[in-house]
Amino acid sequence: MEEGEVLLCCLLWAVDGRSAELTAYEDAVLALVPEHGGEVVQRASGNGSGEHPDEVQLYRFPSQSALESYLSDPRRTALAAQRDAAVARTELFPVRFR
């Protein structure tokens, strides 16, 4: 059985005062996405005030296994401490692109 395309939206909130660190972390890990066959379709900055996220991202991966390969990439997982210091909250969910 062939796997289908995976489309995702990711909402990110920075630890107070650490939005620049969140951006730096995301710059580093999102650079790995194409190596796993994925694409960052769109990346937008929010203001992080109230319930609004600091960053919104849309991704496309050719399959669930490609996404899992990206998520388990040792270069990405090696940055877990940087992520934990900068990212307060993440929401990741499937979407449909129109």
pLDDT, tens only, 7-61: 999 999 999 999 999 999 999 999 999 999 999 999 999 988 878 999 999 999 9
Give me the domains of the chain, ranges plus CATH numbers: 6-94 (3.30.70.100)
- Greatest extent of the chain over all pairs of C-alpha atoms, in Å: 46
- Entry pTM: 0.91
φ/ψ of 60, rounded to 5, equals -135, 125
Alpha-helical regions (H) of 18-79: 19-30, 64-71, 74-77
